[in-house]
Amino acid sequence: MLSETSRRQVLPLNHHWKYRETFDESFIDPNYDDGPWVMVNIPHTNKELPYSYFDEKSYQFVSTYRKTFTVDSVLHNERIFADFGAVMAYAEVYLNGQFLGSHKGGYTPFSVDLTDQIDLDRENTMVVKVDSRERDDIPPFGHMIDYLCYGGIYRDVSLRIVDPLHIKNVFAKPQKVLYQEKELETSVFVVNTTGEAADVVLEIKLSKDKKPIAAANRRVTLPADTEMAFDVYLRNLGGVELWDIQSPHLYELEVCLKRQDQLTDTYTTRVGFREAVVKPDGFYLNGEKVMLRGLNRHQSFPYVGYAMPKRVQRKDADILKYELGLNVVRTSHYPQSNHFLDRCDEIGLLVFEEIPGWQYIGDNEWQEVAKNNVREMIERDWNHPSIFLWGVRINESLDNHDFYKETNRIARELDPTRQTGGVRYLEKSEFLEDVYTMNDFIHSGGEIRLRDPRQVTGTEEYVPYMVCEFNGHMYPTKRFDQEERVVEHAMRHLRVQDAAARDPHIAAAIGWCAFDYNTHYDFGSGDRICHHGVMDMFRIPKMAAHVYASQMDPRERVVLEPATLWSRGDRSVGGVLPLVIFTNCDAVEVLVQGESIGTYYPRSEEFPGVPHAPVMITEIPSSGEWGSAWPSVEFVGYLDGKKVASKAFTKDAVPTRLTAEADDDQLDADGIDATRIVFKLVDQVGNPLSYTTEAVQIEVEGEGTLIGPSVSALVGGVLGVWVKTTETAGEIRVKARTNSQVARPVVITTK
Ligand code: GAL
């Protein structure tokens, strides 16, 4: 597998694992014959699941992954590690029959040192026993949880080969960010397992798009068999551009470790220079106040749970930023994929990341794992400029002085550059963090939208304060629910966002939640889904999504979304009034049967907090009584007097086309890469038929496989599937049909 010797090699170990849905001691034996086992690639879910109505126990079992590999290079006493991105929920790792390490916790990375067991002359067998049961000794388990923790080795695995004198981690801390001349304090964590003291030079280089900007070095002595951190500074950094939401400038940092002029290791990371702080009067990014408007994200997907590859993880960040126009996401309720976070860095989407947990605090042993989660989360993610806050409490748990004093201490000691938060739903809970992060579910449709922060915190003065959840279970709504409900769902998001933006002491309003998610039977709509998203599990927008999208600057994207299916008899009594139009246009003209009936303007007096209040129409001639003729309609959006958007509805919708659209037309032929395809059964003017009962039959030809079933009912007129590549380059052709329509085949090339 390895052909040449070099100082640091990171080799993906995602391919060709043997997998079995059970465990037996005999599987650890390197000579065990796993021939009949299935071959899988990582990320892998231990069990593919239906879309809804499944028994969550079906993935809660112990399974085994086996991987054989060779390291056929001449090594000079290098150390060899296996790095696991995440394994749910407990893992034991064996190499060539020997137990080498274990890890508790399904959301954070761990490494196992293989050096002493590895055989350089022949094949090595790594066996991972994966316990995906909800074990009482591991957060978030021990009580009920409103989400599923899908099993398996669901994040990347790699082999890392390093010199015995190597860099374990680097924490790059931008300083004097708002000065003309900035600084970068870089803590380099160095390991010396050479058995003797070593004089080394640490060299750091900052560059942008490969163009060098600054460099510095420091000579240090490392005693034998130690792990130590050294700070190296880059000062007087002129011309460095800030990382922000609009222009997220990123720089590359390379750290080299040299001994007697010999390079022994290189470590690279990215850096963004920004100052992000929550104050009692709001959130400030680089000294400017920004209202944080966002949603919570669960990292789950239909069928494969957590096991989606890099491209799909990155796509979620794009959806949040570019389709929903958010500037912040909370990674509820655990650290999420590094691919997702990398993308947040690249596109300027702020992140509030938190440790795993949900309402329940376990015993001491459990709490130790949680404290360790704080360390693992921060040490993994401290170089992401998008992350501005560490969540160091178990979401919505009760106060626990000693435990939370300690989680805060750990976070502040590891990372003095970021504030801590810890999400609670209790008023006047003990405020040990820097930011009081509150789930405020007070709004249930009436006048009251949010609580006064001081009522919540019980403090005389205002403190840094964020609302981290609202809505959710207060008003579960399916995309295909009746019109009055989907409109009210949207209005609740709008009302709370508006209220938060009007209160100068609320820094953020992060709604519950971005995407629907599968859950335990104790929660949700009985179908094992919490229909709490502003998008469904396929990431298809509900009406409430347009509340968020319409807040975007129209120069980025024009949004014109009348909150209606435009039908005579879906609402109680009939008609579509009052009609709300979520838009960032400055005027909307309505044409009924081709005749203009008037131009309408945003209700900014009613919703002064949000950048773009909706348009509301209370009268449309001939769209009223039951029994009168039903017309077609067109809405035309204007900006500065210019027509910029239009949206039509037909009076007599019938299935006219089955559209099929893939997020990507090129994928990597690696047996891992995947992309989403969305099918819509639409009417004459392109609107999905929300209440259709037709099913879609899907056929995948060529170098791809379907994730999920090949026959599935449309959900509110739409169906999403994901297609995964094989390891052979070529073409994937996806064909689909319903009873009435055949889609144009989707063609994806794989390289
Ligand atoms: C909150 C909880 C979330 C979710 C939400 C539903 O209490 O933190 O995980 O369950 O309720 O509204």
CATH of the domain at 425: 3.20.20.80
Q: What pLDDT band is residue 678 in, cutting at 50, 70 and 90?
A: very high
Closest CA to 508 of 482, 473, 476, 469: 469
CB–CB of 190/168 below 8 Å?
yes
pLDDT single digits (tens) 410-458? 999 999 999 999 999 999 999 999 999 999 999 999 999 999 999 999 9
Residue-level pLDDT at 607: 98
Say if 4 falls within a structural domain: no
First to last CA, the chain: 21
Same domain, 638 and 662: no
Closest CA to 319 of 8, 147, 548, 628: 548
Element containing residue 342 per DSSP (H, E): helix 338-347
Site to substitute for ligand 1 among 469, 525, 529, most atoms within 8 A of C-beta: 469
Residue-level pLDDT at 627: 81
- Chain center to CA of 72: 38
Residue-level pLDDT at 73: 65
CA 383-385-387 angle, 5° bins: 95
DSSP three-state, residue 368: helix
pLDDT single digits (tens) 311-355? 999 999 999 999 999 999 999 999 999 999 999 999 999 999 999
Which candidate in 78, 354, 376, 469 is catalytic?
469
Q: Specify the CATH number for the domain of residue 97.
A: 2.60.120.260
Side-chain-side CA neighbours of residue 452 (13 Å): 7
CA 580-590-636 angle, 5° bins: 90
Structure tokens at 680: 């819509």
CA of 149 to the centre of ligand 1 (A): 15
* Averaged pLDDT, 273-286: 98
512 lines ligand 1 (CB under 6 A): yes
Of ligand 1's listed atoms, the one at least distance from the Cα of 530 is 6
Residue-level pLDDT at 621: 77
Backbone angles phi, psi at 483, to 5 degrees: -55, -40
Minimal-distance CA residue to ligand 1 atom 5 = 472
What is the rounded average pLDDT for all residues in the chain?
96
Max Cα-Cα span within the chain: 92
Residue-level pLDDT at 74: 60
* Domain that includes residue 105, residue range: 9-162
CB–CB of 137/367 below 8 Å?
no
**Beta-strand (E) ranges in 320-373?**
328-331, 350-354
Say if 262 falls within a structural domain: no
Structure tokens at 84: 């696991």
Backbone angles phi, psi at 208, to 5 degrees: -130, 125
d(CA 572, CA 589): 26
354 in catalytic set: no
Q: What pLDDT band is residue 6 in, cutting at 50, 70 and 90?
A: very low
472 lines ligand 1 (CB under 6 A): yes
Q: What percent of the chain has pLDDT over 90?
A: 95
Residue-level pLDDT at 127: 98
Give me the DSSP letters along 231-299: EEEEEEETTPPPB-SS-B--EEEEEEEEETTEEEEEEEEEE----EEEETTEEEETTEE--EEEEE---
Side-chain-side CA neighbours of residue 199 (13 Å): 3
Same domain, 369 and 421: yes
| Cβ neighbourhood burial of 743 (10 Å; 0-12, 13-18, 19+) | buried
155 lines ligand 1 (CB under 6 A): no
Say if 539 falls within a structural domain: yes
476 lines ligand 1 (CB under 6 A): no
d(CA 173, CA 383): 8
pTM of the model: 0.97
CA of 444 to the centre of ligand 1 (A): 15
CA of 455 to the centre of ligand 1 (A): 21
Minimal-distance CA residue to ligand 1 atom 3 = 146
**Given a cut of 80, is residue 657 above it in pLDDT?**
yes
Report whether the peptide linkage leading into residue 89 is cis, meaning its omega lies within 30 degrees of zero: yes
Among 649, 681, 706, the domain-final residue is 649
* Averaged pLDDT, 513-522: 97
CB–CB of 224/249 below 8 Å?
no
pLDDT single digits (tens) 531-580? 999 999 999 999 999 999 999 999 999 999 999 999 999 999 889 999 99
Structure tokens at 41: 């690639």
Among 649, 670, 694, the domain-final residue is 649
pLDDT single digits (tens) 154-194? 999 999 999 999 999 999 999 999 999 999 999 999 999 99
Give me the DSSP letters along 446-473: SS--S--HHHHH--SS---EEEEE-BGG
CA of 473 to the centre of ligand 1 (A): 7
CA of 209 to the centre of ligand 1 (A): 42
Amino acid at residue number 54 = F
Q: Which of 42-46, 70-74, 96-100, 616-620 has the lowest mean pLDDT?
A: 70-74
Same domain, 512 and 626: no
pLDDT single digits (tens) 400-411? 999 999 999 999
469 lines ligand 1 (CB under 6 A): yes
- Chain center to CA of 2: 33
Same domain, 48 and 122: yes
The helix, strand and coil proportions of the chain, stated in percent and rounded to the nearest 5, come to 15, 40, 50
Say if 200 falls within a structural domain: no
CA of 389 to the centre of ligand 1 (A): 20
Same domain, 609 and 712: no
User: Directed axis angle between helix 364-381 and helix 401-414, to 10°?
Assistant: 20
Of ligand 1's listed atoms, the one at least distance from the Cα of 441 is 12
Say if 641 falls within a structural domain: yes
Same domain, 622 and 566: yes
CA of 146 to the centre of ligand 1 (A): 7
CB–CB of 61/100 below 8 Å?
no
CA of 104 to the centre of ligand 1 (A): 24
d(CA 680, CA 222): 62
Say if 582 falls within a structural domain: yes
d(CA 635, CA 615): 11
d(CA 426, CA 412): 24
d(CA 68, CA 70): 7
Which residues fall within 8 angstroms of residue 43, CB to CB, at 6 or more apart?
A: 14, 152, 153, 154, 155, 156, 306, 307, 308, 309, 672
440 lines ligand 1 (CB under 6 A): no
Of ligand 1's listed atoms, the one at least distance from the Cα of 146 is 10
288 in catalytic set: no
Same domain, 309 and 458: yes
Residue-level pLDDT at 629: 86
Site to substitute for ligand 1 among 473, 492, 525, 531, most atoms within 8 A of C-beta: 473
**Beta-strand (E) ranges in 165-249?**
165-175, 182-192, 198-208, 211-222, 226-237
Say if 400 falls within a structural domain: yes
Q: What pLDDT band is residue 72 in, cutting at 50, 70 and 90?
A: low
Q: How far is CA 693 from CA 507, 656, 718, in A?
A: 44, 15, 11
334 lines ligand 1 (CB under 6 A): no
Same domain, 394 and 441: yes
Same domain, 48 and 147: yes
**Given a cut of 90, is residue 620 above it in pLDDT?**
no
Which candidate in 92, 396, 406, 703 is catalytic?
396
Same domain, 499 and 617: no
CB–CB of 545/559 below 8 Å?
no
Same domain, 616 and 698: no
The residue written with tokens 């994200």 in the block is 297
**Given a cut of 50, is residue 375 above it in pLDDT?**
yes
CA of 145 to the centre of ligand 1 (A): 9
Structure tokens at 537: 């599990």
391 lines ligand 1 (CB under 6 A): no
d(CA 611, CA 750): 42
Amino acid at residue number 627 = G
CA of 472 to the centre of ligand 1 (A): 7
CB–CB of 511/352 below 8 Å?
no
| Cβ neighbourhood burial of 497 (10 Å; 0-12, 13-18, 19+) | buried
Minimal-distance CA residue to ligand 1 atom 10 = 146
Q: What pLDDT band is residue 3 in, cutting at 50, 70 and 90?
A: very low
CB–CB of 725/703 below 8 Å?
yes
CA of 63 to the centre of ligand 1 (A): 30
473 lines ligand 1 (CB under 6 A): yes
* Averaged pLDDT, 388-399: 98
The residue written with tokens 């435009």 in the block is 566
Q: Specify the CATH number for the domain of residue 630.
A: 2.60.40.10
CA of 396 to the centre of ligand 1 (A): 8
Say if 353 falls within a structural domain: yes
Among 617, 649, 681, the domain-final residue is 649
146 lines ligand 1 (CB under 6 A): yes
- Chain center to CA of 559: 24
Torsion of Cα atoms, 176 then 178 then 180 then 182, to 10°: 30
**Given a cut of 50, is residue 5 above it in pLDDT?**
no
Which residues fall within 8 angstroms of residue 31, CB to CB, at 6 or more apart?
A: none
Residue-level pLDDT at 298: 98
Same domain, 586 and 670: no
CA of 86 to the centre of ligand 1 (A): 24
Domain count, the chain: 4
Element containing residue 545 per DSSP (H, E): helix 543-549
Which residues fall within 8 angstroms of residue 245, CB to CB, at 6 or more apart?
A: 285, 290, 327, 348, 349, 350
Of ligand 1's listed atoms, the one at least distance from the Cα of 471 is 12
